[in-house]
Amino acid sequence: MHFGKDRIEVDRRLVEVGARVYLMINKPRGVVTTASDEKGRETVYAFLAADLPWLAPVGRLDKASEGLLLLTNDSEWAGKVLAPETHLDKTYHVQIGKVAGQALLDSMLCGVKTPEGHALRAKRARILRSGEKNSWLEVVLDEGKNRQIRRILDYLGVEVLRLVRVSIGPLQLGELAKGDVRPLSSAEMLAVDRVLGGRGSV
């Protein structure tokens, strides 16, 4: 388990601060990221060990999406990962219900405007592979607007069949099985800190 500890003194008396925990989970499809669900659906907390401190998701993946999700009790670190100004790339593999062409990629890169006036666009997009009736795309975002890829493709009239987040900055989902959880390594924490401009959390 990766963790760090702060030494804090109040009136010259040492105050112990709980361990900072940084985890990644391969969130399965159909699982929600809230601590409890009024509809009784399974949450990501069902996959965590009972002896862990309270952890919060770093961002979200909607119920129908799957893949890399981070959890931590370090709110400062989470805030930096999520901050729009860091432009931390998030990479997704997306299966769509049509054969993709360059025109679709260009439309995703140019972006769309929602009825609410929000501009949504992909930073990068490419075709991974295509079959007779569908394609897998790799889509990179550098901002985290709610359901961004689904909303872009919906606006373009394209059905999303699967959406899997495979990386957040230097953190890779890799071979982590669905529903499995592991701590971030010291090397991974250092890599994130370098991208975020250095924080010294390890």
Domains in the chain, please, with CATH? 7-85+174-196 (3.30.70.580), 89-168 (3.30.70.1560)
pLDDT at 17: 56
Catalytic status, residue 154: no
d(CA 182, CA 197): 24
DSSP state of 85: G
pLDDT at 60: 86
pLDDT, averaged per 10 consecutive residues of the chain (202 residues), comes to: 48 60 96 78 91 92 95 94 85 97 96 83 96 96 85 95 96 96 96 77 42
Confirm if 89 and 141 have CB atoms less than 8 A apart: yes
d(CA 168, CA 145): 15
pLDDT at 166: 98
Those residues with Cβ within 8 angstroms of residue 178's Cβ, 6 or more apart along the chain or in another chain = 26, 27, 28, 66
62, 89, 142, 193: the catalytic one is: 62
Q: What is the pTM of this model?
A: 0.85
